[in-house]
Structure 1
Amino acid sequence: MNSHRAAGNEVVASRTVFGAPCWVSLTTHDLDAAEAFYHAVLGWDWRVGKLGDQYRFASVGGVPVAGVSAVEAMGHAAVAWTPFFAASDANETVARSQERGGTTAVGPLSFPPGRAALLADRDGAVFGVWEGELVADWEDWRRAAPVFVQLHTRNAFDAAIFYGEVLGWASAAAGCCEVDYEDERVVLRNEGHVVARIHSGAVEAAPDPAIRPRWQIHFAVADVDACARAARENGGRVLEGGTGAAEAVLADPDGARFVVNSRSAQ
C-alpha cells in the first residue's frame, strides 16, 4: 500500500506501508461533544470530509491524524478508539483472520478511496484494516498523531503469531514490519520506527485470564498534566497517571479510553 503526497498539482507515492498502523478512529454517541472534548484536550481541529457528516476528521497543523464516527454509522460498534492497519487486500486479510479464529464485526465496506473492515482477534481485541490510499502521508501522520498503539492481551506470543499471519508481519513483502521481543513485550517496527507493542506480562508468567484484551492508542503531548486537567474540566476522567507522570490514561465523556505520553519522555 502506498501513501501519497501532493507535489504541486501531482500526487506521488512516498513510501510503501504494509501491516503497520495507518489510522486511528473513534466511535462515539455524540460527535459534537467528542469534537469539543478532543479540541480542548489535544488541540485538534475538525472538519467533515467526503464520508459525510457522520464521519469527521481531526487534524494537527493541517495533517489529518484521526477520525470520529457515530456508533450507528459503524454497525453499532462499541464506543472506543480503534487502530487500523494497512492491508493490501481487505478481503484476504479478513479471510486470514477468520481462518485463525478471529471474528468480523463490520465489512469489508467501501469508503472511497479505500475499503475498511472491523475485526476482533482470537481474544476479542478489536482492530481495523484499511485497503487503499492513506488519509495522510504515513510519515507525516506518525509525526503528528499517535506515538504508537499497544495491545494488552493474555498471551503476547500467541497474539503476535495471530497478527503476524493476518497482517503479514516479518514477511518478504516490501514495507512490511519487523517483529522483536524486548523488555517482556513484542515490538513491531517499520523501517526502524516503533509502531506497535504487544504486552501480556513477564515471559515466564502464565497467561492472565483476568486481562480484557484491547488495543490502546497513545498520543504524544507537550504537557501530560495539562491534558489531564482539560479532560476533567471537559467531562472526561483520569483513570491512571497524571500529576507529574510521564503518561496518563484518560477517558472521554463517552467512556472511550486513550493514553497521553510526554513528548520529552520519548
Structure 2
Amino acid sequence: MSASDGVGRGAPCWVSLLTGDLTSAHNFYGAVLGWTFRRGSLGEEFSVALSDGKAVAGLGNVASSMGVPVSWTCYFAVDDADLVASRIRERGGTVAVGPLAMGRGRAALAADPAGAVFGFWQGAKLPDWRIGSGGAPAWLELRTRDAFAAAIFYGEIFDWAVDRPGRCEVRYEDDTVTVQVEGRTVACLRGGAIEADPDPRIRPRWHVFFRVDDVEKAVEAALGAGGAVVSEPVHGRVGREATLRDPQGGLFTVTERGDGC
C-alpha cells in the first residue's frame, strides 16, 4: 500500500505515546478520553487505544529503553523511508531511530533543525483513521520559531505541494502554515516559540489535540487520575481548549472542536 492509499503523501497517518508505564497510561487516558485498549501487534510493551471500537492511537512502554522523554509523537506517511531519512539529514535534521522494520512496515523517529521530534512510516495504514474524524486527533500543531522555515523543511522531505496525486496542500498566512488533505486541515505550523526556553509548551515541538465533549470535565478527570493542568481552559483559536500533562509527563491538548486549527 502506498502513502496515497487512504492517506495523502506526507500527511499525518498515526500518533503514538512513548511512555514509561503502560498501565498508568491506560488508567489515565481511559479516565480522561474514555479509551479502551487492546494489545498491540508488536508485543506486550505495546497497546492500541480504541474509541467506539476503532483504533485511535498507539502506546509503547519504550521511553526508557529508547532514551527519550515521555511524549506524544505524530507520524507522517511516506513511500520510501530511506529517501526521507536522507532528505532529513541533508537539510539539517536528525534521524534518531531507524528506519526500522516494525509490524507491516518501517518506522523512524527524527527531529527537525529546530529540535521538534516527529516520526514517519512506510507501509500499510489504517484506511479509516483520519485527523479530525472520530476519536483520532482533532489536529496536530507544530509550535516553532519560524513557521515558514519549518514549512520549507517538511515540504521538501515529505513532498508537500508537489504536483502529483495524493499530495498535501500548504497555505501560509500570518506566520501560520496550514497543511490540508482533500480540503481538510490536518496540521498547523505556528511561529514564535523560543528554542532555548525550558518550558515544554514553548520549545519547538509537535502538539496533539484530542476532541472531547466537555473540556472542564476532561480537566477534572485528568486531575483525578493523577495528571496536571499545564494551561487552564480558555477559548482558543477555534474553540475551548486546555493543555494537560499525564502522570508520566506526556503533554497533549483537549479541545471541543475537531474541524481544523
109-118 vs 63-72, greater mean Cα deviation: 63-72
- Whether 2:251 is the aligned partner of 1:257: answer yes
Out of 124, 134, 145, the residue aligned to residue 133 of structure 1 is 124
Tell me which amino acid in the other structure corresponds to 1:66: A
Distance 1:182 1:54, change over 3 A: same
Query: 1:174-253 counterparts in 2 under 5 A?
Result: 174-201=165-192, 208=194, 210=197, 211-242=202-233, 246-253=240-247
Counterpart selection for 1:117 from 108, 112, 115: 108
1:151-190 equivalence runs, <5 A = 151-190=142-181
The alignment's TM-score, normalised by the length of structure 1, stands at 0.88
Aligned residue-pair number: 252
1:53 pairs with 2:47: no
Contact between 1:225 and 1:243, CA under 8 Å: does it hold in 2?
no
**What secondary structure sits across from 1:154 in the alignment?**
coil
Residues 2, 17 of structure 1: 8 Å contact kept? no
CA distance in 1 between counterparts of 2:172 and 2:123 reads 30
For 1:191 and 1:218, how far apart are their aligned partners in 2?
A: 20
Query: Which residue of 71, 78, 95 corresponds with 1:87?
Result: 78
The answer to whether the 8 Å contact 1:41/1:231 transfers is: yes
Aligned partner of 1:17 in structure 2 is 8
Change in Cα spacing, 1:136 to 1:25, as seen in structure 2 (3 Å) is farther
**Identity in percent:** 46
| Aligned-partner Cα distance in 2 for 1:16–1:173 | 14
RMSD: 2.2
User: What is the deviation of 1:50?
Assistant: 1.4
Task: Tell me the alpha carbon deviations over residues 164-201 of structure 1, each in whole angstroms, 9 at most, x when there is no partner.
Answer: 00111001232110000134310000000000000014
Which residue is equivalent to 1:28? Answer: 19
Over 3 Å counting, the alpha-carbon distance change for 1:264 and 1:156 in structure 2 is closer
Residue ranges of structure 1 left out of the alignment (5+ in a row): 4-12, 202-206
Residues 243 and 103 of structure 1: CA distance in aligned 2, closer, same or farther (over 3 Å): closer
- C-alpha change, 1:16 and 1:151, in structure 2 (3 Å) is closer
**What is the SS of the residue equivalent to 1:19?**
coil
2 CA distance for matches of 1:191 and 1:74? 38
Displacement after TM superposition at 1:15 (Å) = 2.9
Give the drift of 1:137: 2.3
Range that drifts further, 40-49 or 129-138: 129-138
Name the amino acid aligned to 2:228. Answer: R
1-side partners of 2:42 and 2:136: how far apart?
Answer: 21
Question: Secondary structure of 1:242's partner?
Answer: strand
Q: CA deviation at 1:63?
A: 1.2
Structure-2 separation of matches of 1:265 and 1:127: 22
The amino acid across from 1:177 in the alignment is C
* Structure 1 residue 80, shift from structure 2 partner: 0.4
Distance 1:63 1:140 in 2: 13
- Give the whole-Å Cα distance in 1 for the aligned partners of 2:190 and 2:41: 36
Q: What is the identity, as a one-letter code, of the residue corresponding to 1:218?
A: F
Q: Specify the alignment match of 1:41 in structure 2.
A: 32
Cα offset for 1:70?
A: 1.2
TM-score (norm 2): 0.90
Match of residue 64, structure 1, among 55, 68, 74: 55
SS in 1 for 2:133: helix
1:104-154 residue CA offsets vs partner (Å, 9 max, x unmatched): 111111112111000000011000001100145234883321011000001
Structure 1 residues 264 and 151, CA, compared in 2 at 3 Å: closer, same or farther?
A: closer
Q: Distance in 2 between matches of 1:126 and 1:17?
A: 21
Instruction: Give unpaired runs (5+ residues) of structure 2.
Output: none
Give the secondary-structure state (helix, strand or coil) at the position aligned to 1:35.
helix
Q: Hey, what's the Cα distance between the residues in 1 that align with 2:230 and 2:210?
A: 16
